[in-house]
Amino acid sequence: EAGVTQFPSHSVIEKGQTVTLRCDPISGHDNLYWYRRVMGKEIKFLLHFVKESKQDESGMPNNRFLAERTGGTYSTLKVQPAELEDSGVYFCASSRGPLNSPLHFGNGTRLTVT
């Protein structure tokens, strides 16, 4: 099966600009997650979708971040306006069922805000 795909792989933007990250999960995976790793720190949970519904967005840092999952397929994560502290690697993951099913991760998007 095709893996989780993330686009772009790298993005360099200036402070104040907008960036949209995209994630295509594995087909048939209802659960989709966004995680972020800031340089040298832990990978942190951002939010969780089940199909098109947000189940848990308690990890979203602030209202500059907006995630959507159109029709329960691909997901986008928009940062607007970007700040320096938003720099890091953003990972998307998907799974078929409950959390005892392993997550399948994409390669991540490395975001650099200058």
Partner 1 sequence: AQSVAQPEDQVNVAEGNPLTVKCTYSVSGNPYLFWYVQYPNRGLQFLLKYITGDNLVKGSYGFEAEFNKSQTSFHLKKPSALVSDSALYFCAATGAGSYQLTFGKGTKLSVIP
Binding site for partner 1 (CB under 8 A): 3-4, 6, 31, 33, 35, 40-45, 48, 55-56, 58-59, 91, 93, 98-100, 102-108
Distance CA 24, CA 81 (A): 24
**Adjacent-strand bridge partners of 65:** 79
Half-sphere exposure for 51 (CA within 13 Å, toward CB): 1
Q: How far is the CB of 99 from partner 1 (least distance, A)?
A: 5
DSSP 45: E
Q: How far is the CB of 77 from partner 1 (least distance, A)?
A: 15
Between 13 and 103, name the residue whose CB sits nearer to partner 1: 103
Nearest to 34 by CA among 113, 108, 99: 108
